[in-house]
Amino acid sequence: ALHQVARAELRAAVARLPRVQRTALVLAKLEGLRLDEAAARSGLTPASLKVATHRAIRRLRLGLAAQPA
């Protein structure tokens, strides 16, 4: 049950990300595409995709850490 709650919180946090960050995270980390493939599908340069992915992960960590346990 706790696992399902954590999963729902993560899903909601991902949905709240800015569109570019959400897209970068989904393509690069969740779908597991290579950097060049994810960049081509998103319309971003590889460097921009890496930045957006990093920012998305940082935002998720900060947001989820701030929630009461």
Q: What is the pLDDT of residue 66?
A: 79
pTM of the model: 0.85
Asked if residues 24 and 49 have their Cβ atoms less than 8 Å apart, the reply is yes
Q: What is the pLDDT of residue 25?
A: 97
Asked if residues 14 and 60 have their Cβ atoms less than 8 Å apart, the reply is yes
Mind listing the pLDDT tens digit for each residue in 15-61?
A: 999 999 999 999 999 999 999 999 999 999 999 999 999 999 999 99
What are the angstrom distances between the C-alpha of 28 and each of 1, 3, 6, 9, 67?
Answer: 28, 24, 21, 20, 26
Q: What is the pLDDT of residue 65?
A: 81
Asked if residues 21 and 59 have their Cβ atoms less than 8 Å apart, the reply is yes
Q: What is the pLDDT of residue 4?
A: 81
Q: Pick 12 or 67 by higher pLDDT.
A: 12
